[in-house]
Amino acid sequence: MDKDTLEKLLGFTDFTVDSVVVLPTQIQIHGHARFEQAVCPVCLEKCNTVNQKQARIVRDMPVFGKEVYLHLTTRQFHCTNCQRFFYESFSFVEPKRTMTTRLEKYLYQCCQDSAFKEVAARENVRWDVLQGLFTRWAKRQIKTDLATPPTRLGIDEFAYCKGKKDYAVVIVDLDRAVVYDVLENRDKEALIAYFKTKGPAFCASITLFSCDMWAGFVNTAIAVFPHAEVVVDRFHLFAHLHHVLDIHRRNLRKNSPKAVCFKAIKWLLYRAWSKLSLTERRVLLAAFRQAPVLRKVYFLKNELRNIFEADLSRQEADALLSEWVVAANALADESLTKFVALVESWKKHILVFFVSRATNGLVEGINNGIKTLKRVAYGFRNFEQFRLRIIVNFLQPL
């Protein structure tokens, strides 16, 4: 292959090939800068006075199953205008880096899809080099892609060390469906301090804050976001009501262990009546004939779901929710009464849903993605590395 063809394949406009050495596992391409002059990075004057030369080895993308190394002869110029010394730069590699930009980008994308350990072994790159590369590119992408501050936030916690009760917090931009940040501490004081560091303008721009029924999240929003409506996620609310149904189901199974009608109905109880098939409805009706209280709680759940599904104003929803509370209390069921008390205590923030229609469903989906990420996140030795991996995992690829 002649030098002109090789230069075209490389695609570098400022690099001239001198020679090529093909080894069993490597291709070594020797060359130098195409242009005789260089521009001073300080005064921007053209310079042609060379003070000294230095050899530099830069790794490029592999080809034909072989690693490619560029052996560059770089020149140090002396600027007679500002009396500074500087080394010439190349368009395909950043200063002081040992890999071309396109190879770094390729490795960065590999790290987003696979574990560090796997990428390091497959691409023959040292683990610490790969980690530094990932950190540098991740911070660069985050700075660019998350430059625009969010206006609607969702927040939730997740366990990042199984069995150790270590909980982190994921903050999601609900409008862009991206992870805005991940915090190691979920304490209210730490959350307030974090948001205050963002500045008054950031806090004033938040118009909606979606969370579950943990007082720490709600009190944080009240403390730092003066213009935000706080909405309690409807799915967390129904999770508590499903727990009431499950209490009844487990009691029935315990008191009537031989009753076939109470077996395998847990997930049917969680689903809406309108979503059940004819066969599934018959299964539930068989259980309801033996457990009338269970039937009443289940259809109360469906009534509450219908309220949330309807196109209602805040005032209309408030009236219907009050009627539902009366009907639920009339059942005089202990576990259901506790749930009703929960609804009444959080009613103000529950009703915000009927204005914003915002939920934490997106955040929950991202949380599931984080769980998957944890299973392949070998090589993250500190929380900051894991944080970066989570954020860039939910950004658009470079």
Pick 8 or 278 by higher pLDDT: 278
206 within some domain: no
- Cα–Cα distances (Å) from 112 to 118, 121, 133, 136, in that order, read 12, 15, 12, 13
126 within some domain: no
158 within some domain: no
pLDDT of residue 113: 79
**Alpha-carbon dihedral sign for residues 97, 100, 106, 107:** negative
Q: How far apart are CA 263 and CA 253, in angstroms?
A: 7
332 within some domain: yes
Q: Give the residue among 224, 223, 203, 220 at the shortest CA–CA distance from 211.
A: 220
What's the pLDDT tens digit per position in 22-78?
999 999 999 999 998 899 989 999 998 999 999 999 999 999 999 999 999 999 999
209 within some domain: no
What is this structure's pTM? 0.84
Q: Which residue range(s) make up the domain with 266? A: 234-356
Q: Which of 92-101, 267-276, 331-340, 372-381 has the lowest mean pLDDT?
A: 372-381
pLDDT of residue 377: 60
112, 113, 116, 119 alpha-carbon torsion, rounded to 10°? -120
Q: How far apart are CA 273 and CA 338, in angstroms?
A: 24
Q: Which of 63, 98, 133 is the last residue of a domain?
A: 98
C-beta atoms surrounding 170 within 10 Å: 24
High-pLDDT (> 90) share of the chain, %: 75
Q: How far apart are CA 211 and CA 169, in angstroms?
A: 11
What's the pLDDT tens digit per position in 228-285?
999 999 999 999 999 999 999 999 999 999 999 999 999 999 999 999 999 999 999 9
Q: Which of 39, 71, 98 is the last residue of a domain?
A: 98
Is a pLDDT exceeding 60 seen at residue 378? no
What's the pLDDT tens digit per position in 180-210?
999 988 899 999 999 999 999 999 999 999 9
For residue 181, list its beta bridge partners.
171
Q: How many domains does the chain have?
A: 2
Average pLDDT in the 326-335 region? 95
Average pLDDT in the 334-350 region? 95
Q: Give the residue among 208, 244, 228 at the shortest CA–CA distance from 343.
A: 244
